[in-house]
Amino acid sequence: MKKKLAVLLAGTMVMASLVACGGNDAAPATNDAPAAEPAAEDTAEPEAEVEEEAPADDAAEAPAASGDTISVGFAQVGHESDWRAANTQNYQDTFSEANGYELSFVDADNDNAVQLEAVRNFIQQEMDYICIAPIETAGWDTVLQEAQDAGIPVLIVDRSVDADASLYETQIGCDMVAEGETAGNWLGEYLDGADAKILVIEGSVGASATLGRTEGFNNIAAQHSEWEILDSQSGDFTQAGGQEVMESFIKSYSDFNVVVCQNDNEAYGAMDAMDAAGITYGVDGDVIIISFDATHDGLQYTLDGKINCNVECNPLQAGFAADVIRKLQAGEAIDAQTIVTDEAFVAPGITSQYAVTMTQEVLDGRAY
């Protein structure tokens, strides 16, 4: 009865919130972090929230108050990067038994078929909620329809999908296009009109993080006729992939002066390859390195001047997902999209309107 009631309630509220916000295409707008307590019945047009801070932990504790546990199936991308490890840990800490959840976690190991099968198993097991961090944006309509037909609300987290937005409750994640544009804007500021021959180590093929960062960076590169993007290949968001692609780039190109790595682990691989080839990089080297994620080690390299600019993407997002589930359980309207805000960091000695200059205090103050 509980499960059916919870799902029925959620279904009802989804209709209400869809009506309230006119479908899932509400334009994102700024908003404060969600209140720890259930917000007053917001019948006004809910706007997508741009979150500053993850909601207080007690946002994740609401279900225990009702005495029932909530079953959540989480189909995670894989374990390809330090960012992913931090994101997984955050979900496991948030959707804990102590907080009133029963989490079924599947690491899809960057395999689309495994991820789809995991979601179908969650449907079979009649989970109360399903969270998906989609490996790729494509291929989701059918299984999302199956989940909706089964009355199971789905949250798309971290990345996004090319699917009808009425097939899922909400999308939570960083603005990848903005991240790419931040990287490009910083590079334009840093080069100040100087030529650039750029190599790009992209993230995994078809991922919204890859597509967005590439689109955003290219938006800015198009404004700089003095820049040339020599090549762009996928390093799969892994250190091995970054090293492999950088080794092949070094064989093919001799005049590059910028390497854009779409996550920190690829940057570590690229640095290994450049070290082996005797190519210098960073603030005192011949090659500028731009990275994404701003994980602890990535920011250590930035503090050390090895990475010139590191654009953050905050992995601590589970609190937002728990807040959506709490609201659905309580019959409150939810937001169609939650953009997790991030910032950028640059090496000591660099000042920028787009980024924070790294210091030991900045590094010590990081949550991941």
Residues near Zn ion (CB under 5 A) are 224
Contact partner at residue 33 from Zn ion, ligand GZL, none, CB < 5 to 8 Å by partner kind: none
Nearer to ligand GZL, 80 or 332 (CB): 80
Q: What CA–CA distance (Å, rounded) separates 67 from 100?
A: 8
In angstroms, what is the minimal distance from the CB of 76 to ligand GZL?
10
Q: What CA–CA distance (Å, rounded) separates 97 from 68?
A: 11
Nearer to Zn ion, 120 or 224 (CB): 224
Contact partner at residue 263 from ligand GZL, Zn ion, none, CB < 5 to 8 Å by partner kind: ligand GZL
Residue 223: both structure tokens together: 């404004």
Question: In sequence order, what are the beta bridge partners of 51?
Answer: 340
Contacts of 267 by beta carbon, 8 Å cutoff, 6+ apart: 201, 242, 261, 289, 291, 298, 301, 307
Contact partner at residue 174 from Zn ion, ligand GZL, none, CB < 5 to 8 Å by partner kind: ligand GZL
Q: Which residue, 324, 293, 332, is CA-closest to 310?
A: 293
Residue 158: both structure tokens together: 């971290």
Angle at which helix 2-21 crosses helix 318-329, to 10 degrees, equals 100
Number of residues forming the site for ligand GZL (CB under 6 A): 14
Stretch that binds ligand GZL, among 15-23, 25-33, 35-43, 78-86 (CB under 6 A): 78-86
Q: What CA–CA distance (Å, rounded) separates 89 from 10?
A: 27
Task: Compute the Cα dihedral for 197, 201, 207, 213 and give only its sign.
Answer: negative
Contact partner at residue 158 from ligand GZL, Zn ion, none, CB < 5 to 8 Å by partner kind: ligand GZL
Give the residue closest to Zn ion by C-beta: 224
Residues 121-180 touching ligand GZL, rule: CB under 6 A, are 158-159, 173-174
SS3 (DSSP) at 16:
helix
84 binds ligand GZL (CB under 6 A): yes
Contact partner at residue 327 from Zn ion, ligand GZL, none, CB < 5 to 8 Å by partner kind: none
Q: How far is CA 39 from CA 254, 289, 323, 333, in A?
A: 58, 43, 11, 10
| Contact track, ligand GZL, 170-209, x by CB under 6 A | ---xx----------------------------------x
| Contact track, ligand GZL, 287-316, x by CB under 6 A | -----xx-------------------x---
Contact partner at residue 80 from ligand GZL, Zn ion, none, CB < 5 to 8 Å by partner kind: ligand GZL
Contacts of 2 by beta carbon, 8 Å cutoff, 6+ apart: 68
Question: In sequence order, what are the beta bridge partners of 28?
Answer: 48
Which residue in the set 17, 24, 71, 81 belongs to the binding site for ligand GZL (CB under 6 A)? 81
User: Interface with ligand GZL by CB under 6 A: which residues?
Assistant: 80-81, 83-84, 158-159, 173-174, 209, 237, 263, 292-293, 313
